[in-house]
Amino acid sequence: MTSEFEPLEQLIRESMKGVYTETTIDHVVNPRNVGNMQDADGFGEVTGPCGDTMEIWLKVKRGIITNATFLTDGCGATIATGSTVTEIARGKSIPEAMKINKQHVLNALGSLPEESIHCALLAVNTLKQAIKDYLDLKKEPWKRAYRKY
């Protein structure tokens, strides 16, 4: 069955061909792990130098990231990097997730144009912020009561 959005999706795919890899285009058109999370164990929000903001929520069980979601008001590359970094983080232990860097995201996407590489950094910095929040809350669980998410 074809959806009413298929022609639009096709148009978006065509406009990105030659600029982004097929993998990146797929993450832009079908982003994974989009949305906020009720009762998250960690939350990060970072605004990059370009003015775009990303938010990441984490669910952690026994030291393993069991769920990671994101939202962003950024461009296609930002959507693709948020989608990818949350995919990479899922199933990782906290020490493993802390080692995720910009290059891991770029490798998973098969590269990004030079002018979009900072989008991968924004995604990684937001993940690190969410991990830091998780670790801070572990030390001071009472702070949960003052969180807005």
- Catalytic residue flag (residue 119): yes
Question: Rounded to the nearest 5°, which phi and psi values hold at 57?
Answer: -115, 140
Measured between its terminal Cα atoms, the distance across the chain in Å is: 37
Q: Compute the C-alpha angle 75/69/10, nearest 5°.
A: 45
Q: How far is the CB of 52 from ligand FES (least distance, A)?
A: 3
Handedness of CA 111, 114, 116, 121 (dihedral sign): positive
Number of residues that bind ligand FES (CB under 6 A): 11
Q: How far is the CB of 69 from ligand FES (least distance, A)?
A: 18
Within 100-129, which residues bind ligand FES (CB under 6 A)?
116, 118-119, 122
Smallest separation, CB 74 to ligand FES (Å): 4
75 assigned to active site: no
Q: Which is nearer to ligand FES, 105 or 137 (CB)?
A: 105
Site for ligand FES in 42-81 (CB under 6 A): 48, 50, 52, 74-75, 77-78
Nearest alpha-carbon partner for 73 in 57, 55, 56, 52: 52
Active site residues: 50, 119
Interface with ligand FES (CB under 6 A): 48, 50, 52, 74-75, 77-78, 116, 118-119, 122
